[in-house]
Copies of this chain bind each other. A is one copy, B any other.
């Protein structure tokens, strides 16, 4: 043991400078943990701690066993303007993709019954989709639709905005939404789909939507990579929304 080698905090500062200066990254991938730990003359565990701290700051992110990458600007997401994921992303000059991962008819789980205030044995459709920005998977969405409101919905193109589909195909307008936002650990299935380490933190958004008749027609569980999104709400929109509804 020489003096005291670089501490975790000093490594953070040094890496932060390098990142700010844009020194790293042709294709925005950082050198491997082993290379960096040699570079800074610390053990790999210590270096990982430093990288994890920068990850919490949102300066870098981790992708499965693929390595560390420099962060990308967050998507500004206004949940009051109801989905339209693709439009929102394109307005911010990014490229959006949606993949349907699974879809199945089933009965509402106890948790879902609680969230949606459903009767026992209510048939629902459960739709799981993964959404990407500029080719990077950032969001896993699980929609639970009350089947009786959506006959034959499985025959539709489900990569588009569901809101649009509701309106055009079924004549439903979204009159009211309630949503909860909270940090949470990614469930195993979500972690896998988003290339996260098991138990890594995500931003979880639970929302329930009512149609113009006040009927609770569907709910949505969103899991966002924590560094990929900034939720923006402007109470000004309320006045505009109200005006439009009239």
Check B241–A238 contact: CB distance below 8 A: yes
Q: In the complex this chain forms, how many copies of it are found?
A: 2
Check A56–B180 contact: CB distance below 8 A: no
Interface residues of A, count at CB 8 A: 39
Q: A9-B198, A242-B238, A242-B239 are in contact. Are A56 and B233 (CB under 8 A)?
A: no
Contact of A80 among B199, B233, B241, B242 (CB under 8 A): B233
Contacts of A180 in B (CB 8 A): 230-232
Check B183–A226 contact: CB distance below 8 A: yes
Binds B, one of A32-40, A112-120, A171-179: A171-179
Check A235–B178 contact: CB distance below 8 A: yes
Q: Which residues of A contact B (CB under 8 A)?
A: 9, 12, 45, 53, 56-58, 74, 79-80, 176-185, 198-201, 203, 226-227, 229-236, 238-239, 241-242
7 A-B pairs with CB atoms under 8 Å apart are: A53-B198, A56-B185, A57-B184, A74-B182, A179-B232, A181-B231, A183-B203
